[in-house]
Amino acid sequence: MKGVALIHDVLDAQLLDRTQQKMGRVDGLVLELRDGEPPRVAELLVGGSIAAERVGGWMTAIVRGCCRVLRIEPAVSRIPFDAVEAIGACVEVKVDARSTSAMRTERWLDEHFACRIPGGSGEERK
C-alpha cells in the first residue's frame, strides 16, 4: 500500500468485512512505535467506547454508566492492519464481521427489539 492519510482516509471510514457486510466504522487506530523506524499502524479499533473517548470525557462517562446499568462490558474489536485489503470509499478487511464483537450491539437490538420499521424493506404494504 502506498501512502495513506490516516485521519482522512481511514478514521471514521465504513468497514466492510470479507463478504462486503457493513461492520461499523473505524473508531480508532493503534500505532506501533519501533526503534529507529517510523511508526506503523498495528490495529483498527471498532467500538462505541473508542468513539466516546474521541468525543470527550463526558461521553466516555455516559457509555461507562450505560454499560454498568446494563451489566455489559464495552465491546472493542481489534482488527490487525494486516487484514486490510483495500482503502477507498470504504475500508475492506479480510475478517468475518460475525467473528468479532463489532456487530454485538446490532445483534442484541435484533434479539430484544425485533420489530419492523414501517416502510422498511422487511415489511409488506397493506
Of 3.40.50.720, 1.10.12.10, 2.60.120.10, 2.30.30.240, which CATH number belongs to 6-112? 2.30.30.240
The Cα 126–Cα 105 span in angstroms is 31
- Residue 46 in this model has a pLDDT that exceeds 60: yes
Q: Is 33 exposed, middle or buried (0-12, 13-18, 19+ CB in 10 A)?
A: exposed
- Residue 92 in this model has a pLDDT that exceeds 70: yes
pLDDT at 73 (0 to 100): 75
Kindly provide the residue ranges of all beta strands, DSSP E only, lying in the chain, ordered along the sequence. Answer: 14-16, 22-25, 28-34, 37-46, 77-80, 84-87, 91-93
pLDDT at 119 (0 to 100): 64
pTM: 0.72
The stretch 109-122 carries a mean pLDDT of 64
